[in-house]
């Protein structure tokens, strides 16, 4: 397993380690089905982390990604591993990386972006309905529609930049 110091000293070290782990995982049968993760999309994230600036901010995320792949490899070799084990590993190791690329860098995870914006609009509409302000516009869920449109636009923008992930 690599160390943070190795990732700091050599930019290519991360991609070498990543490619070795991915090739070993691709040889496993049904690894993408077990983990519910697209290895192609994970490669998009790895390439982004390797090229993004400043690299000092990416170092911990790159290390977490390598840790995830290493533990995923050992978990996939375990015959008693359950789907819950794979989900826990994803939550423990991969969520911080996904949050970073999702929020800070314009990536979108399937349709989560659209649903998140619609949920914000629904909450605002409910608050306005309870307070009685919504009666002035006949309780039409205006904010839900507005936020749904905003989410759709941001999702299309992420899709055009090939930043849609299935993770």
pTM of the model: 0.69
Strand stretches in the chain, DSSP E: 108-109, 164-165
Residues 85, 31 share a domain: yes
pLDDT for the residue 123? 92
Rounded to an integer, the average pLDDT of 33-39 is 77
pLDDT for residue 111: 60
- Which two structure tokens, joined as six digits, stand for 109? 């995870």
Mean pLDDT of the chain: 80
Examine the pLDDT at 51 and tell me if it is beyond 80. Answer: yes
Domain that holds residue 148: 112-165
Q: For the segment 6-26, what is each residue's pLDDT rounded down to a tens digit? A: 555 566 788 899 889 888 888
Percent share of the chain, pLDDT over 90: 2
* Cα–Cα dist 39/60, whole Å: 20
Taking the alpha carbons at both ends of the chain, their separation in whole angstroms is 23
Residue 159's pLDDT is 80
What is the distance of C-alpha 125 from the center of its chain? 28
Last residue of a domain, one of 105, 127, 154: 105
Statement to judge: residues 37 and 57 lie in one domain: yes
* pLDDT tens by residue, 84-134: 888 888 888 888 888 788 766 677 776 666 677 888 888 998 998 889 888
Q: What local confidence, expressed as pLDDT, does residue 138 receive?
A: 79
pLDDT for the residue numbered 136: 82
- Tell me which of 155 and 106 has the higher pLDDT: 155
Single residue among 57, 77, 105 that ends a domain in this structure:
105
Higher per-residue confidence, 34 vs 46 = 46
Q: Are strands 164-165 and 108-109 parallel, antiparallel or unpaired?
A: parallel
127 and 98 inside one domain: no
Same domain, 133 and 83: no
What pLDDT shows up at residue 60? 86
| C-beta of residue 89 within 8 angstroms of C-beta of residue 135 | no
Cα(108)–Cα(166) distance, integer angstroms: 9
What is the largest distance, in Å, between two alpha-carbon atoms of the chain? 62
> Quick one: 99 and 18 in the same domain?
yes
| 8 A C-beta contact, residue 144 and residue 125 | yes
60 and 10 inside one domain: yes
> Which of 26-40, 61-75, 76-90, 101-115 is least confident?
101-115
Q: What is the pLDDT of residue 5?
A: 54
Domain count across the chain: 2
């Amino acid at each position: 397993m690599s160390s943070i110091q190795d990732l700091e000293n050599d930019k290519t070290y991360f991609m070498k380690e990543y490619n070795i782990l991915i090739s070993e995982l691709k040889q496993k049968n049904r690894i993408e089905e077990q983990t519910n993760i697209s290895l192609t999309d994970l490669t998009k994230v790895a390439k982004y982390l390797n090229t993004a600036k400043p690299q000092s901010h990416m170092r911990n995320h790159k290390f977490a990604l390598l840790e995830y792949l290493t533990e995923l490899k050992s978990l996939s070799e375990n015959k008693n591993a359950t789907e819950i084990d794979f989900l826990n590993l994803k939550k423990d190791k991969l969520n911080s990386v996904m949050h970073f690329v999702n929020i800070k860098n314009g990536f979108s995870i399937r349709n989560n972006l659209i649903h998140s914006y619609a949920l914000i609009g629904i909450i605002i509409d409910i608050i306005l309905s309870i307070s009685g302000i919504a009666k002035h516009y006949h309780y039409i869920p205006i904010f839900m529609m507005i936020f749904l449109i905003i989410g759709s636009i941001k999702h299309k923008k992420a899709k055009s930049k090939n930043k849609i992930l299935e993770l």
